Amino acid sequence: MDIIIVTAGLAGFALFLILQLLTFRLIDSRILMAALMRIFISASIILTVSVYVISVNFIQSRVLDTISHILLALLIYGALCFIYVTAVFGITVTSVRIQILRLIYNAGDKGLPYINIYKKYNKQVIIKTRLERLVGSGELICRDNKYYLPPVTTFFMLHTKILVVLYGVFGNRGYQQTRY
């Protein structure tokens, strides 16, 4: 059963990547993070059902064994998705430096004038793009040109709250909370 659990976790991750590849070609870039969460949840459900069917119908496992098979496969799948999102996807989507390098790389031997880079990556454009993505993914609400947190804590806002607590606990002097 160990090989089935590991294979199921890897297959779930492969499904996640395939769904991301197919979905991200069709959606607006402002809703990337919300779409990523939907893909993660969809692949999790498919993985859970698949492991359940294999465990009950083919291996004829007991209930507790089936539950542990599902949880272990989800743990492997979740760990792979976490590593991918934080180490690969997150960096390439949010890093302006990497996006600028990609833009210049795509220009090839003819190069890219400074003004073209500046038009796409000045402070106003970057802030506007990031705010649109945060609103599009449901991380922020925009009313009357003011931004608010939604009433329900989102997955990515939970990450921010944890960081705020950690900064407070460890007394990081580099972190200063701005009040308006």
* In-domain check, residue 112: yes
Of 64, 94, 124, which marks where a domain is finished?
A: 94
Asked if residue 84 and residue 7 are part of one domain, the reply reads: yes
| 15 and 79 inside one domain | yes
Q: Is residue 42's pLDDT more than 90? A: yes
Q: Of 13-22, 29-38, 159-168, which range is least confident?
A: 159-168
76 and 105 both lie in a single domain: no
Q: 135-139, 163-167, 170-174 — which is least confidently predicted?
A: 170-174
Residue 179 located in a structural domain: no
pLDDT of residue 166: 72
Burial 1-38 (b: 16+ CB within 10 A, else e): eeebbeebbebbbebbbebbeeeeeeeeebbbbbbbee
Residues 65, 141, single domain; the answer is: no
- Tokens found for residue 133: 């993505």
Q: Are 159 and 153 in contact (CB under 8 A)?
A: no
Find all residues with CB under 8 Å of 36, minimum gap 6, and list them: 20, 85, 89
Residue 180: is its pLDDT beyond 60? no
Residues 65-84, mean pLDDT to the nearest whole number: 94
User: Looking at per-residue confidence, does 117 or 94 come out higher?
Assistant: 117
Q: Is residue 180 part of a domain?
A: no
Question: Which of 15-29, 97-111, 162-176 shows the lowest per-residue confidence on average (mean pLDDT)?
Answer: 162-176
For residues 175 and 27, which has the higher predicted lDDT (pLDDT)? 27
Q: Are residues 147 and 127 in the same domain?
A: yes
Q: Is there a domain that residue 13 lies in?
A: yes
83, 122: one domain: no
Helix, strand and coil percent figures for the chain, each rounded to 5 = 75, 5, 20
pLDDT at 118: 87
What is the extent of the structural domain holding 165? Answer: 101-170
Q: Report the predicted TM-score, pTM, of the whole model to 2 decimal places.
A: 0.62
pLDDT at 173 over 70: no
